[in-house]
Amino acid sequence: MFGLKASPQEAEAPPELDGDLIRLANVSRVYETKTTETVALDDVSFSVKPGEFVALMGPSGSGKSTLMNILGCLDTPTSGTYRLDGVDVSSLPEDDLADIRVYRIGFVFQSFNLLPRVTVLGNVNLPMAYAGIPVREREERAVAALDAVGLEEARYDHKSNELSGGQMQRVAIARALVNDPAIVLADEPTGNLDTKTGELILATFGRLQQQGRTILLITHEASVAAHANRIVHIRDGRIVDGQEVSA
Amino acid sequence: MNFRDLLAETFSSLSQNKARSGLTILGIVVGIASVILMVSIGQGSQQSIQSSIESAGANLLMVMPGRSGAAGAARGGMGSAESLTKDDAEAIGDLEGVKTVATEQSGNYQVVAGSLNTSTRVVGTVPQEEQVKSIQMESGSFLDERALKRWAKVAVLGPTTRDDLFGENASAVGKEVRINGLTFHVVGVMASKGGTGFGSSDDLIYVPLSTSELYLSGNDYLTLVNVQAEDADVMSTAQQSISDLLLSRHKIDDANNADFSVMSQQDILSTVSTVTGTFTILLASIAGISLVVGGIGIMNMMLTTVTERTREIGLRKAIGARRSDISQQFLAESIALTLTGGVIGILLGWLLSLAVTQFAGYTTEVSTQSVVLAFAVCTAIGLVFGYYPARRAAGLSPMEALRYQ
């Protein structure tokens, strides 16, 4: 129990001595409305080493999505620190967080979140446009990313809403990979897919890990979590368990 | 995002809801077209008035009875007072620097020819008027000394009056018109001086001054003395000496109490320019209101778009869009809407002004200035009315935007 919870001494260790890619120390996230106060994350400490494949499991409302949003720099903690590669990002201005999202993190969503009525290549090009990649380099990189997720070339000029769920998720993963991020965050990536397609997507994540990327994946299916090196259980905003899974 | 990306994004998102984009653009089209049209009518009438004043004659000074303000602006009653006589005019003619003097006595009368009739200005004048006002004849001849001496009931028609009484470009010389119930023989028709709408010098009738005094007005006071100076250099000294002469003849000590006014073409031009300038601004501001309404339409559409695309904004932020990327995208959309509306509006306004010239007969003038101004206003509207929606989009929290249903 609580085997992964970092002690305060560890959390305050200087960054250069810290081999973790992701390090959360005593992170809390409280949502306030006029009348109520909801504690979504309660004093979470947690770290991920480069190259790990971690599954976050928990029932709905447990705070796993809040944790994912903080890890993905979409949200900032109410208290505590988040060090990404040694740099405290918990209180960075919004545009600096945007730069982290564009270069270092790739997001994959349960509902794919592709731009409808935009072609496959158009969707994959989008993060490169925000990263300021020159237009002439984009096609080559987009094709490489789509090739890596196994989408056939005949589909490249299809509108995203003309694709099947499995194809859309491949495009979404290609979009997450195209700026070559160190970390891939996936929020129930197989939740809207049938088991067989889900297996293919998970196999893709397995290949990404072999290329040296760090992967964090949210799921509530044990069979999905079984692909990870480590499973972290969350309940009521707290990490209740972290176990190593033999690969 | 570079400029090319921005253009492509803007085009694709605007073309995704063609009906809505089209209607929003229409609001701007109507606004810009009406501004262009109104300004063209205003500037056209200004031009036509100026050209008709300039074509009135070279080195012309006008002496009118009635009081005038110190600034030379027109005052009520000018031209109607009975203070200017033929003796005054003769004395002016003897002044140094004065080449010719032509006296006028005018009034508005109902004029009938056959079954057609019109109400127009009838000017009693002398043969010198032809030279002083640079009148060209289209057919027949101008009034002569003989007609003046014999109180002849002869008339020279302006081309517009001829069109009204006899039909377009009909031959009128030798025919008869009835002015104030009396029959006059038409002896000539003037050539058009150009200029349409108000201020036209094509819509009048000349009769001999003596005839006007005897049969029409029943008095011998003058309503206008046209003075032609010898050349442009003596205009202002002639203006001053006419003024001094009349003051002493009318036994008035203070020039502010003068019962006449002496105006040059320049004085009249500047007075008229002030009036038509105000007129143009008035027309343009009425049209400008519809442009503001169009701008509100843009803002309304952009706010709706931002709400509809909240999830998309969240996604864009999640994959790395900065605040400025998002606000640029929405600003670009609103500017694209207004500029498209502006281009179509300018074309439409220009076509409408051609139609107004063609069918209503007003001179219109679409100036480069008003086109450039329309473009600037469009861009400004796009920026101003797009700013708030764009800021709202850029300020959305990525996490909340992604969760938005």
Q: With cut-offs at 50, 70 and 90, classify the pLDDT of residue A55.
A: very high
**Is A101 close to B315, i.e. CB distance below 8 A?**
no
Q: Which residue in chain B has the smallest CA separation from A66?
A: B399
**Is the pLDDT confidence value at B22 over 50?**
yes
Residue B199: CB atoms within 10 A of its CB come to: 16
Q: What is the pLDDT of residue B271?
A: 82
Least confident of A43-57, B70-84, B194-208, B293-307: B70-84
**Which residues, listed in sequence order, are joined to residue A185 by a DSSP beta bridge?**
A107, A216
**A74 reaches B (C-beta below 8 A):** yes
**Is A117 close to B316, i.e. CB distance below 8 A?**
no
Question: Chain B neighbours among A 137-156 (CB < 8 Å)?
Answer: none
Examine residue B66 and state whether it is found in any structural domain, yes or no: no
The stretch A40-64 carries a mean pLDDT of: 90
Distance to chain B for A245, nearest Cα, Å: 30
**B16 reaches A (C-beta below 8 A):** yes
Q: Which two tokens stand for residue B95?
A: 């002044």
**A94 reaches B (C-beta below 8 A):** yes
**Is B1 close to A129, i.e. CB distance below 8 A?**
yes
Q: Based on the domain organization, do B90 and B230 belong to the same domain?
A: yes
pTM for the model stands at 0.71
What ipTM, to 2 d.p.? 0.85
Please report the DSSP string for B271-317 in residue order: HHHHHHHHHHHHHHHHHHHHHHHHHHHHHHHHHHHHHHTHHHHHHHH
**B399 reaches A (C-beta below 8 A):** yes
Q: With cut-offs at 50, 70 and 90, classify the pLDDT of residue B274.
A: confident
Q: What is the pLDDT of residue A127?
A: 94
Examine residue B267 and state whether it is found in any structural domain, yes or no: no
**Is B322 close to A72, i.e. CB distance below 8 A?**
no
The fold of the A50-73+95-244 domain, in CATH, is Rossmann fold (3.40.50)
Q: Which two tokens stand for residue B396?
A: 């959305």
Examine residue B68 and state whether it is found in any structural domain, yes or no: no
Q: Based on the domain organization, do B230 and B308 belong to the same domain?
A: no
Q: Which two tokens stand for residue A195?
A: 């088991």
Q: With cut-offs at 50, 70 and 90, classify the pLDDT of residue A243.
A: low
For residues A55 and A225, the answer to whether their CB atoms sit within 8 Å is: yes
Give A218's contacts (C-beta < 8 A, 6+ positions apart): A55, A56, A57, A64, A65, A68, A186, A187, A188
What is the number of structural domains in chain B? 2
**Is the pLDDT confidence value at B28 over 90?**
yes
Residue B254: CB atoms within 10 A of its CB come to: 7
Indicate the residue of B12, B315, B320 with minimum beta-carbon distance to A102.
B320
Q: What is the pLDDT of residue B77?
A: 46
**Is B16 close to A113, i.e. CB distance below 8 A?**
no
Q: How far apart, in whole angstroms, are the C-alpha atoms of residue B104 and residue A112?
A: 89
Q: Based on the domain organization, do B99 and B213 belong to the same domain?
A: yes
Q: Based on the domain organization, do B247 and B289 belong to the same domain?
A: no
The residue extents of the domains of chain A are 50-73+95-244
Examine residue B138 and state whether it is found in any structural domain, yes or no: yes
* Residue with more model confidence, B75 or B117: B117
Examine residue B336 and state whether it is found in any structural domain, yes or no: yes
| Chain B residues within 8 A of A175 when measuring between CB atoms | 319
- Domain encompassing residue B30: 3-51+272-403
**A161 reaches B (C-beta below 8 A):** no
Q: Which residue in chain A has the smallest CA separation from B326?
A: A130
**Is A130 close to B321, i.e. CB distance below 8 A?**
yes
**A99 reaches B (C-beta below 8 A):** yes
Q: Based on the domain organization, do B40 and B129 belong to the same domain?
A: no
Distance to chain A for B337, nearest Cα, Å: 21
Q: With cut-offs at 50, 70 and 90, classify the pLDDT of residue A242.
A: low
Give the residue from B2, B3, B309, B319 with the most A CB atoms within 10 Å of its CB, the best one to mutate: B319
**Is the pLDDT confidence value at A132 over 50?**
yes
**Is the pLDDT confidence value at B353 over 90?**
yes
The stretch A12-28 carries a mean pLDDT of: 73
pLDDT tens-digit series, residues B180-229: 989 999 999 998 876 544 445 788 899 999 999 999 988 888 988 999 98
Examine residue B92 and state whether it is found in any structural domain, yes or no: yes
Q: How far apart, in whole angstroms, are the C-alpha atoms of residue B340 and residue A23?
A: 51
Q: Based on the domain organization, do B95 and B222 belong to the same domain?
A: yes
Given B223, B258, B293, the domain boundary residue is B258
Give A181's contacts (C-beta < 8 A, 6+ positions apart): A103, A104, A105, A106, A213
Q: With cut-offs at 50, 70 and 90, classify the pLDDT of residue A184.
A: very high
Examine residue B298 and state whether it is found in any structural domain, yes or no: yes
Given B258, B287, B314, the domain boundary residue is B258
For residues A18 and A193, the answer to whether their CB atoms sit within 8 Å is: no
**Is the pLDDT confidence value at A17 over 50?**
no
**B317 reaches A (C-beta below 8 A):** yes
**Is B4 close to A118, i.e. CB distance below 8 A?**
no
Q: Based on the domain organization, do B291 and B236 belong to the same domain?
A: no
For residues B47 and B363, the answer to whether their CB atoms sit within 8 Å is: yes
